[in-house]
């Protein structure tokens, strides 16, 4: 399809003034969007409690900043068209039509180029982050291994190296942890929101996730897959404690450190 010539011809004065105002709107919306992206998600997701969550929040913020100009462009065009090109009163037979623009090759090309470039950026960023997540546990030495079992509607945690089993998750600070997750009945999903890790607990199979907790505190283990009657109550605590406290907890549970 060829670019149809308009009665008014190529970019005239009114088009330039349209573009100027739209550009201004775009800049304002972009700035608002970027400020929002930098402040709000981080505030809502809270201070990260693990290196994984730090990465999650960083990616969320970067993606938000990167999408701000895109959303701003769409909204700027939409808002401007609504305000500037709005018809007063209803359409009547014989009213003049808008310009017969059936396409604009340069605009289309630029739009496609920019959206492809953004997509490529997101993809590279994602693959890079993914490779970091997958290799983090493998690379670091001496990870603490914990077997996580979900069953309707309780979590239990076994520490094979310490000979301890518990209803609470207790983790030593700054030591990599590998969770081997399974289920005794239906599918559950092991989620520690403050640490940015989640993996489904499947019956008869073991799935793995890992992280390194890096902030002391008490967090949550939640079930993120509808698992029946008490799904909402399938929650327990996840404490991150110092290495000494961890050792004394293990001893208190009758384990061998």
> Considering only residues 155-214, where is the footprint of other proteins by CB under 8 A?
156, 165, 167-168, 181, 184-187, 189, 191, 193-194, 196-200, 202-205, 207-209
Contact region with other proteins (CB under 8 A), list: 66-74, 137-145, 171-179, 240-248 = 66-74
Binders of other proteins among 15-54, rule CB under 8 A? 15, 18, 41, 44-46, 52-53
Of 229, 244, 252, 256, the residue at the interface with other proteins (CB under 8 A) is 229
Residue among 91, 56, 72 nearest 23 (CA): 72
Among 149, 164, 176, 241, binds other proteins (CB under 8 A): 149
Please report which helix (H) or strand (E) contains residue 70, including its range.
Answer: helix 51-84
CA angle, 169 then 170 then 175, to 5°:
120
Nearer of residues 82 and 256 to other proteins, judged by Cβ: 82
Q: How far is the CB of 114 from other proteins (least distance, A)?
A: 9
Q: What angle do CA 121, 53, 235 make, to 5 degrees?
A: 135
Residue from 209, 213, 211 nearest 243 by CA: 213
Q: Indicate the residue among 43 and 256 with the shorter CB distance to other proteins.
A: 43
Tell me which residues in 97-116 interact with other proteins (CB under 8 A).
97-104, 107-108, 111-112, 115-116
Side-chain half-sphere of 193: how many Cα atoms within 13 Å?
A: 13
Binding window for other proteins (CB under 8 A); candidates: 91-99, 137-145, 171-179, 241-249: 91-99
CB of 218 to other proteins, least distance (A): 9
d(CA 195, CA 173): 12
Count of residues interacting with other proteins (CB under 8 A)? 107
Q: How far is CA 248 from CA 73, 98, 178, 243, 256, in A?
A: 57, 78, 21, 9, 10
147 forms beta bridges with 158, 180
Query: Taking CA 228 as the corner, what is the angle to CA 225 and CA 230, rounded to the nearest 5 degrees?
Result: 95
Among 49, 56, 146, 240, indicate the residue that binds other proteins (CB under 8 A).
Answer: 56
CA 246 to chain centre: 31
| Footprint on residues 117-146 left by other proteins (CB under 8 A) | 118-119, 122-123, 125-127, 129-130, 132-134
Q: Between 13-45 and 51-84, two packed helices, what is the crossing angle to 10 degrees?
A: 150
Single out the residue of 67, 147, 215, 255 in contact with other proteins (rule: CB under 8 A): 67
CB of 174 to other proteins, least distance (A): 20
Binder of other proteins out of 38, 54, 65, 152 (CB under 8 A): 152
């Amino acid at each position: 399809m060829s670019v149809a010539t308009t009665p008014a011809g190529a970019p005239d004065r009114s088009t330039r003034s349209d573009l100027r105002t739209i550009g201004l709107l775009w800049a304002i919306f972009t700035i608002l969007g970027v400020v929002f992206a930098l402040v709000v998600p981080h505030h809502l997701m809270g201070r990260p409690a693990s290196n994984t969550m730090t990465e999650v929040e960083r990616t969320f913020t970067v993606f938000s900043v990167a999408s701000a100009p895109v959303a701003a462009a769409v909204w700027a065009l939409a808002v401007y068209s609504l305000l500037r090109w709005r018809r007063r009163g209803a359409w009547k037979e014989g009213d003049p039509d808008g310009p017969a623009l059936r396409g604009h090759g340069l605009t289309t090309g630029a739009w496609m180029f920019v959206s492809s470039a953004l997509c490529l950026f997101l993809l590279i960023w994602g693959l890079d982050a993914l490779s970091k997540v997958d290799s983090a546990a493998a690379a670091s030495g001496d990870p603490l291994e914990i077997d996580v079992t979900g069953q309707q509607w309780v979590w239990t945690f076994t520490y094979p190296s310490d000979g301890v089993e518990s209803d609470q998750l207790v983790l030593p600070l700054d030591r990599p942890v590998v969770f081997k997750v399974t289920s005794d009945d239906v599918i559950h999903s092991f989620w520690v929101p403050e640490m940015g890790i989640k993996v489904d607990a499947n019956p008869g199979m073991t799935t793995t996730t890992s992280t390194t907790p890096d902030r002391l505190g008490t967090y949550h283990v939640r079930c993120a897959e509808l698992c029946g009657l008490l799904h909402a109550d399938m929650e327990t605590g996840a404490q991150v404690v110092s290495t000494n406290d961890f050792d004394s907890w293990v001893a208190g549970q009758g384990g061998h450190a």
